[in-house]
Amino acid sequence: MSRAVNSAAFTSVGLIGKRADPTVASSLAIVHDYLVGRGCRVFLEAETARTIARFQEHALDYGALGPAIDLAIVLGGDGTLLASARQLAAHGVALVGINQGRLGFLTDLAHANMLRDVGLVLDGCARAEERELLQARVFRDGVELFHGQALNDVVVHKSGDYGRMVEFEVAVDGEFLYRQRSDGLIVATPTGSTAYALSANGPILHPRIAGIALVPLCPHALSNRPITLPSDVTLDIRVLAGNPARLHCDGQTALELAAGDRISVARSPHRARLLHLPGYSYFAMLREKLRWSESPPES
C-alpha cells in the first residue's frame, strides 16, 4: 500500500552514489547544488563524498547518516539502492533512486529528468511504498556468527572451484519441509522475486503480497519446485556434510558455511521506504524491464 509523503519532512537529504564510478561525480555535484538551492541540508555518504573533494566536510558514514536525514537520493543502479536500503531501513529514511545503471527495477528516476523529478519529490508529489526485508542469522555450534539483512534475497549456494551440489535440509517454523541436493536455494522477498529468483524460474510476487519465495537452484530432483510461504514464518536451513557452501545477502555480503551450520531466515522488523512519482505503475515497470508486449491488439 502506497501513501502520500509530507514534503515538509524532507529538510535533510543524504546523497549516495555508486562507488568507483567516475560518471556519478558530475551528477552528484548537480543534484547537491540543486538541493542546497532548495534550502535543504545536504550530507553525503562517506565513501560517496570521496569522489568530490569539496564534499568532504559534509561526509557521514552510514551510522551517522541514517539519524541525520529524512530522505536519501541514490545515484546508481539497483545494487547501490539495495546497499543503501539495508543500511537506512532501521531509521525510516525514504529512498528514491536515479538510475545510472542498466536494468533499474528499483531506481525509478531517469537521469535525463533528474532535477525535475527530484523537485517533484521535494514538492510532495511522491508516494511512499514499504518493502519487506529479510534478516539472516548463521549459527555454528550454537554460537551466532553472522547477522545480515536483505531487501532482495538470502541465498545459500555452492562454493569453491568445484561444480558439485550442496546438500541441506529446510524447516518452516520448526517443521521439516525437505532435504535437497542442488546448486543452492534462494529465499526471496517480493522485491527480490524479479532478481536472481526470476532467472531460476521463481514466481513473480507483487510487492503487496506478504510472502517469501523459496526457489531451488538446479535441484537434483525435478520434483523440487519453487514454493511461496507466508512472510511471518521462520526458515531454518541446515547445511549437511559434503561440499562447501556460501551465504549471500543481496549478493553483496557473504559468509563461508561449514557442515552443521544453521541459517535462520525471517522477516526483518525494519522495512525499506521507496518513493514513487505520480504515474508509477508496477505492471508498466514489468512490461518495460521484462520486455513484455504492451497491450493486446484491438479486435
pLDDT, average across residues 35-44: 95
Domain boundaries, the chain: 2-126+277-290, 133-269
Model confidence band, residue 150 (pLDDT cutoffs 50, 70, 90): very high
Q: Which of 247, 299, 271, 248 is nearest to 3 (CA)?
A: 271
Q: pTM for the full model? A: 0.92
**What's the CATH code, domain 2-126+277-290?**
3.40.50.10330
Structure confidence by residue, pLDDT tens digits, 275-290: 999 999 999 999 988 9
Model confidence band, residue 84 (pLDDT cutoffs 50, 70, 90): very high
Contact 204, 286 (CB under 8 A): yes
Q: Which of 174, 165, 261 is nearest to 221 (CA)?
A: 165
Model confidence band, residue 58 (pLDDT cutoffs 50, 70, 90): confident
Least confident window among 101-110, 219-228, 245-254: 101-110
Residues known to be catalytic: 78
Model confidence band, residue 169 (pLDDT cutoffs 50, 70, 90): very high
Those residues with Cβ within 8 angstroms of residue 214's Cβ, 6 or more apart along the chain or in another chain? 170, 185, 186, 187, 226, 227, 228, 229, 235
Model confidence band, residue 8 (pLDDT cutoffs 50, 70, 90): low
**Residue 68, pLDDT above cutoff 60:** yes
Name beta bridge partners: 156: 185, 247
- CA-to-CA separations, 12 to 39, 67, 113, 147, in angstroms, rounded: 9, 10, 22, 29
pLDDT, average across residues 80-109: 91
**Residue 96, pLDDT above cutoff 70:** yes
Grid cell in block for residue 208: 503487496
pLDDT of residue 248: 96
**Residue 55, pLDDT above cutoff 90:** no
Question: What mean pLDDT, rounded, does the chain reach?
Answer: 91
pLDDT of residue 3: 63
Model confidence band, residue 79 (pLDDT cutoffs 50, 70, 90): very high
Model confidence band, residue 162 (pLDDT cutoffs 50, 70, 90): low
Contact 258, 125 (CB under 8 A): no
Give percent of the chain above pLDDT 90: 76
Structure confidence by residue, pLDDT tens digits, 205-242: 999 999 999 999 999 988 889 999 999 999 999 999 87
Q: Which of 200, 183, 186 is nearest to 242 (CA)?
A: 183
Q: Evaluate whether the domain defined by 133-269 bears CATH number 3.20.20.70.
A: no
